Amino acid sequence: MSLAALTVHEAAKLLAGGEISSVELTTAALERIEQLDARVKAYVTLTPELALEQARAADAARAGGEGAGQPLLGVPVALKDVLVTEGVRTTCSSRILESYVPVYDGTAVARLRSRGAVFLGKTNCDEFAMGSSTENSGFFPTHNPWDLDTVPGGSSGGSAAAVAADECIYSLGTDTGGSIRQPAALCGVTGIKPTYGRISRFGLVAFASSLDQIGPFTKDAEDAALVLNALCGRDVMDSTSVGRPVPDFAAALTGDLAGVRVGVPSEYFAAGLEPGVEAAVREALKVLERAGAVVDECSLPSTDYALDTYYIIAPAEASANLARFDGVRYGFSKEASDVWGEYNATREAGFGAEVKRRIILGTYVLSAGYYDAYYLKAQKVRTLIKQEFDAAFERFDVLVAPTSPSVAFRIGEKTNDPLAMYLSDVLTIPVNMAGLPGMSIPCGLSDGLPVGLQIIGRAFDEETVLRVGHCYQQQTDFHRQRPAL
């Protein structure tokens, strides 16, 4: 097996045993990137010098006896380009930040750095994380390693594609309406969005602050648990991070589902779900039953309103968050005869069409005379969605459903139809609206492309979500399948 194809836990074991070095592992990943990324285009910025420097430091730390209990020490990771990284260009895949180099690390990045992670580079995404296909990048689209003519999903498509193509051992992404789970499904990897507040958002360039959450892409659920152990916890720099104790997520991976109650929301199997996707998910439910789970149907009646609600709340928050990008403090500036002309010219040239669309929509729903009709009403519907999840979790330990209504679609297929593109996240958005943890794991193929199984848990119960995902992966091998690049 190529070193670049290792999981985190496999790499950690080999590193701890002295069978490989971090420099060897990092070199293998960099060689894989050099071999494939001209076709996949997962990365916006590569940092090979930094990576090898960190790898040498990790090897020295292990030689000095500092590696015990540090599974991420010396293991290469890719970072979505919305995560502020000291000394490394951070563009949000936007022309307006094309030359921005931060002078500090965001908390998630800092926590990985403190554990000896090796930073390979920054991954491509939809501009400012706004999109479902990574075609909205200000630089270039990313290609799905399973079929280079198809999208990898979005907005964290570069992070998902990098893991699927073995161009890193694991990666970080962000999820505002499905931007970890949907690309994980389309690229056939494991991706988890933890509970809102579980991981600090300090240093995450904000899209929609009440929805954004950082999480990992990995090759299996065991790796996801190890990465979450490093990332989670209270941070005084983020008032929305929660001070609950962080469990050992890896300890929850018992391999046993005896008595676990699994709910299947009927609304997630509605019209528009591809037959191949439904067949794979239904078969996965049978696997969970054979592993000891008790499976029964349930209902989340407000699911149909989640998409509409999201596309009021998220653009409204984006409109406020992106007001700071005016060419004065960040990015490039376009000259004009007065300051307002300069702002307009800079934002016109710096933002792409999708970002402009959402800023305009968000400004409209927050404007005088429309706030109550749209934004306030959307927040009330959001509360109903959360209450319905709460009621379902009185009966069930997890909810299981498809992650995406379709497998990966062709590049360019939906770019001229924003509504069709938005519907790609119809099954993931409700989880963000309720602030719950959700994970996507591979559960089969349809037309030769991966299908994702979505596992949704109670707030701050990532342990059960991971337990279910891990048990499923012990019974199947879909997570071990790789594209033939």
Distance, CA of 130 to CA of 151 (rounded, Å): 15
- Kindly list the distances between the CA atom of residue 378 and the CA atoms of 205, 384, 478, in Å, as whole numbers in the listed order: 24, 10, 38
Beta carbons within 8 Å of 394's beta carbon, 6+ residues apart: none
Amino acid identity of residue 448, one-letter, is G
Burial of 236 (0-12, 13-18, 19+ CB in 10 A): exposed
* Identified catalytic residue from 156, 179, 241, 440: 179
Burial of 286 (0-12, 13-18, 19+ CB in 10 A): exposed
From the list 70, 89, 80, 62, the residue with the least C-alpha distance to 9 is 70
Provide the H-helix boundaries in 274-376. 275-290, 303-321, 339-350, 353-366
Determine whether 179 is an active site residue: yes
Q: DSSP letters along 14-29, please? A: HHHTTSS-HHHHHHHH
Distance, CA of 277 to CA of 28 (rounded, Å): 34
Quote the DSSP letter at residue 295: E
Beta carbons within 8 Å of 419's beta carbon, 6+ residues apart: none
Determine whether 80 is an active site residue: yes
Alpha-carbon Rg for the chain, nearest whole angstrom, is: 21
Q: DSSP letters along 356-395, please? A: HHHHHHHHHHHSTTTIIIIIIHHHHHHHHHHHHHHHHTTT
Determine whether 209 is an active site residue: no
Beta-bridge partners for 78:
121, 171
Distance, CA of 306 to CA of 309 (rounded, Å): 5
Burial of 97 (0-12, 13-18, 19+ CB in 10 A): buried
Adjacency order of strands within the sheet including 118-123:
43-46, 118-123, 76-80, 170-174, 214-218, 190-193, 438-446, 449-457, 398-402, 261-265, 294-298
* Identified catalytic residue from 41, 80, 219, 414: 80
* Identified catalytic residue from 21, 132, 155, 406: 155
| Token output for 66 | 């500092």
Active site residues: 80, 155, 179
